[in-house]
Amino acid sequence: MECQMCGGDAKELHVIPIRNGDSYVTKACTDCAEYIGALCHGKTKLVFEDESMACSVCVDELAGRIQDICRALLSELPTDETSANFTEWLCDVSNVLREPPVESFARAIATKALRYNVSVECVITKVWRERSAACILPSAAPL
């Protein structure tokens, strides 16, 4: 099988959703996938629309460690009309994942931190200072 990045013959290919011509599917050998940082814990990372990446295993581990602070932070966020998009998004995500909203909130904070290589404390501080979780929504700009 041919790697679409280096052209080499590979025993194993990783499907990575990054731009490859007109497609967002690239088949890469392990060496190329590792070189571009698309592998972690032996798995392909999640790739987002802006081609930032995060490992699902790392997201889960980090989210588990920050749940208590996320529970406190979530209870302090306003629930007015300005936060309606976040509230609707959080309900949708927690329903799809079948998990409590605080877990989805923690996962979103962890994902944002890992995607943009910033500390989770940086993301939490931004949410706290702005009194808004808008910065962790998928459509939000990088930190």
pLDDT in tens, 4-51: 999 999 999 999 888 778 888 899 999 999 999 999 998 889 888 888
Residue ranges of E strands in the chain: 13-16, 26-29, 39-40, 43-44, 46-47, 53-54
Model confidence over 67-93: pLDDT tens digits?
Answer: 999 999 998 888 775 577 888 889 999
The whole model's pTM is what?
A: 0.83
